[in-house]
Structure 1
Amino acid sequence: MVFDDFYHAHFRSLTVQLCAYTGDLGQAQDLAQEAFCRAFARWDRIVRYDDPVAWVRRVAWNLANSRWRRLRTAHAYLRRQRETHVAGPNPDRVALEAALALLPANQRRAVVLHYLADLPVAEIAHQAGVAEGTVKSWLHRGRAALAALLRDETEETAGEARDG
């Protein structure tokens, strides 16, 4: 039997079966095509089987089941990812980020790296290419500026709450 004749004789019926199983004609065609491609690669051996169509059908169904398993795993993974939502920023964080944005770049970088990234003063100095005393100065000035900015923000918020 020639592979082309085999393919033309059985592709449509296998596709119909797979479409009924998967509910998606495009996916069924892809699965049938992949199964026939695998059969073509082994055609000299498969042609001698009692029922070569059974081999192609089994491969196609295995491929369909593998896709179902992958989809199920992907859906479970996405469900787990969605369940671990990070809460939106609270008002304190918004105020802190706004205050940080007002600091000079060197002070902001020093404060962020030291307090949020937990880097020691020596490492920040090395990264910035400055003396440790310079980083300490940036941190001191940055903390003082943040304290003033956040105090002003707190006073404005309290005033709005009283007035409102």
Structure 2
Amino acid sequence: MDDARAGTTGAFDAWASARVPALLRFAYVVTGSQAEAEDAVQAALERALPRWDRISRAEDPDAYVRRMVVNAHVSLWRRSGRHESPVALVSLSEGPDPAEQVTTTEAVRRVCAGLPRRQRVAVALRFYEDRDYAEIGALLGCSEATARSYVHRALQALRRELGEEESDA
């Protein structure tokens, strides 16, 4: 039994070593915070290890663990009961106006943070992970049309918010 457990742990370690950077990027898009992303990935991996024999036989183990990351984020958010709004760091590099970039980035983050969880996840999967709507629907447990609707509504909110920001200036 110890040999089987060691084999499972070894397979999991190899998979996790290869996938953790992508999981952290995905989690950051979902959570909007590096610290929360790290917490969500850690919680998901802690839950995945004892179940790795079953998860590794799934059709898409990556998608399964990404779903665990989303669920871990929701659980952590519910338990903590706190709402934080991370602020982008200002960099003084050459190129476009940093203040304008920070303002736009912060507006996008604020709108994304205000989106319903499923819309936020759908947008992250569509534009950050370049998933098609059928995959998004499968990951979220909904139809392809519903996944399209989530992304469409999120983009409408983003356009509306950014349009208001430009008219205020």
TM-score range relative to shorter protein: 0.3 to 0.5
TM-score, length basis structure 2: 0.40
TM-score, length basis structure 1: 0.41
Q: Which has the higher relative contact order, 1 or 2, with Cα contacts under 8 A spaced 6 or more apart? A: 2
Work out which of the two has the higher radius of gyration on C-alpha atoms and give 1 or 2. 1
